[in-house]
Amino acid sequence: MSAIKYEKNADNIVILTLDSSGQSANTMNAEFRDSLNEVSEKLKAETDLKGIIFRSAKKTFFAGGDLDELIQVQPEHATEFFKMIEELKGDLRSIETLGVPVVAALNGTALGGGWEIALGCHYRIAINDPKTKFGLPEVTLGLLPGGGGIVRMVRFLGLQNAFPFLMEGKQFGVDKAKSLGLVHDTAENEQELLDKAIAWVKANPKSQQPFDVKGYKIPGGDPKTPAVAQVLAIAPAMLRDKTKGCYPAPEAIMAAAVEGAQVDVDTALRIESRYFTQLTIGQISKNMIGTFWHGLNAIKSGASRPADVAKWQATKVGVLGAGMMGAGIAYSTAIKGIPVVLKDVSVENAEKGKAYSQKLLDKRVSQGRMTAEKRDQVLALITATANAADLQGCDLIIEAVFENQELKAKVTQEAEQYLAEGGIFASNTSTLPITGLATASKDAQKFIGLHFFSPVDKMQLVEIIKGKQTSAETLAKAYDFVQQIAKTPIVVNDSRGFFTSRVFGTFVQEGMRLLAEGVHPAKIEMAALKAGMPVGPLAIQDEVSLTLSEHVASETRKALQAESKYLPKTPVDEVVHTMIHELNRKGKAAGAGFYEYPENGKKHLWDGLSRWTKENDVSEQEMIDRFLFVQALDTLRCYEEGVLESVVDANVGSIFGIGFAPWTGGAIQFLNQNGVEKSLQRAEQLTAKYGERFTPPQLLRDQAQKSDIIR
């Protein structure tokens, strides 16, 4: 019983201390399951048992399921896996129904399986710590709470109140748990936690779950209750509208919750196990676990960071340019407690940039997420200025001015002299090669790209771009800074458009190609959403602005001409030119693009796009394939060319940087999950029909011959 320490005190209360061996956190691994089974049998054999207390020897209570184990479960293991889950739940249920009081002494965070153990207890006491989180986030990994979480949350909260915690994976703190009645009491330290648990056991010698008491009714009513039935009549349609059918987990959760609410607890638990097995053996959960758990953890642990460079922290950061990007970078830096100098050509412009932080912080205060005092402290960290000398002593300066090489060179040379010794200089460019920008620097080894995404306060990814001369030390410092401000870094090598901007462009252009081919614009946008993209390509193009796209295309052509290369005009160029120069529709900022933007109404597609619409035979699935393959194949080219150095950075970067369909696990995982041979065949079909942009990279051909995944 190495995962659970069994100790019976003088009052005949058994204290079960969860302590998985060789791990910093407790998980529902094989060791835990074996230990729980032994504990369950031992408890049944006790003759004078007065109560049971679950507690933890770790810093947190319990982390949840063993994802390393879950990702390995294949369809052929379904029966065996189902039985294993049923046995685990049977042991928890056995403890829950022994007729003695069962208490969860929660010393810290309990998520997933950990929260399910807590829900299986009759009484829950938590240490009053604002960092503690509870909840069932399985849906974010393509799974559902399979340890009884759906069954018990529905019975405690009712269907409607439980849905956000189950289908959205919402986490909550101690105060929220108390207000929901899910945590009954709090303690200030571990000793008080244990003392209160023992006292409650003694005061409640006969105890059972409320839902095991005869006549218990689910709060708000079961699915047959008229008010609940009315909601459930439209809930599946609303859910499908949200998921577009790409995510089976929320649908399985809703089904398990509704079906389980109509039967007894034990039958409901079995229904939950069946849906859990179905999701676990499916490909989508494997895609999402691989990227959102293993991939992100690899990045957090510094997978793409030079290992032999000491950890570093920025102590003062300069930001050049107080526009939308610069203001966002300043905010994201200051809110992590780092002093920022926000410089623009005038103090008025700089103050406008600082006002952006004021607005975001005021919103936090109004929502009760921050005190006014804390807001003022953060604002005090931002110095708005027009004087370059105020940058003196910055150990990191980030330029975020307009995408123009001459302007960027000018501000680099003006500001670089004020860098502290050992400091580094970064450009927030989204397309201009870093090696070219670094020629303006006095030391190209200390020059790097930090490509933030808009809006910076919401977007988690930062693309770090190494120039040809960027040193390993500069890369390590940039990586550390990105993590210091709680964002996710991926590392790429220098090229025009780098990775994210280059691949993002293929998605938007494919949408405009479809428009030029005569497909109705509403069909284009819907196909993109059904592919799993967060927004349609025409809507995104409006956000970016057609004039910016035209400018980037023009600059790219000039650069290629300088290299004696020719970039032919495409139907996309014709669409963009017509929209800007003939129809005066330049995008959202100009008030008119592919969409109309009425002052007091919802945006909608512009009727004038009908000029391109004609008969065509492109099916919705064909459009979905085009959207996903055009991005996935170009991502693979980036990997093959050495722009990307790892599959992890490719998958994480594609989802968090360009919104590539999260259900796939990322652009390269999309090719892997299809099977590389099938992906190759489909790419060849698309090439034959639509042209060279779908040409399979040699790497895909090589892996298909080996019948191996792309690693």
pLDDT score at 430? 85
Summarize the confidence of residues 238-252 as an average pLDDT: 95
What average pLDDT does the structure give for the chain?
96
pLDDT score at 1? 53
Cis status, amide bond into 455, omega within 30 of 0 = yes
Q: pLDDT tens, 392-441?
A: 999 999 999 988 889 999 999 999 999 999 999 999 998 889 999 999 99
CB 330 within 8 A of CB 319: yes
CB 317 within 8 A of CB 339: yes
* pTM greater than 0.85: yes
Banded model confidence at residue 444, pLDDT cuts 50, 70, 90: very high
Query: What's the CA gap between 329 and 327, in Å, rounded?
Result: 6
Q: pLDDT tens, 519-529?
A: 999 999 999 99
pLDDT score at 4? 97
pLDDT score at 374? 96
701 CB-side CA count, 13 A: 6
Q: pLDDT tens, 71-92?
A: 999 999 999 999 999 999 999 9
Two tokens, residue 173: 């703190």
* pLDDT higher than threshold 80 for residue 702: yes
Long-range contacts (CB closer than 8 Å, 24 or more residues apart) made by 549-553: 549/508, 549/576, 550/576, 550/577, 550/580, 551/403, 552/403, 552/431, 552/505
Summarize the confidence of residues 612-639 as an average pLDDT: 96
pLDDT score at 560? 76
Percent of all residues in the chain with a pLDDT value above 70, rounded to a whole number: 100
Burial class (CB in 10 A: 0-12, 13-18, 19+), 551: middle
Summarize the confidence of residues 356-380 as an average pLDDT: 96
* pLDDT higher than threshold 90 for residue 569: no
* pLDDT higher than threshold 60 for residue 122: yes
**What domains lie within the chain, and their CATH numbers?**
4-281 (3.90.226.10), 317-495 (3.40.50.720), 501-706 (1.10.1040.50)
Summarize the confidence of residues 36-56 as an average pLDDT: 97
pLDDT score at 683? 98
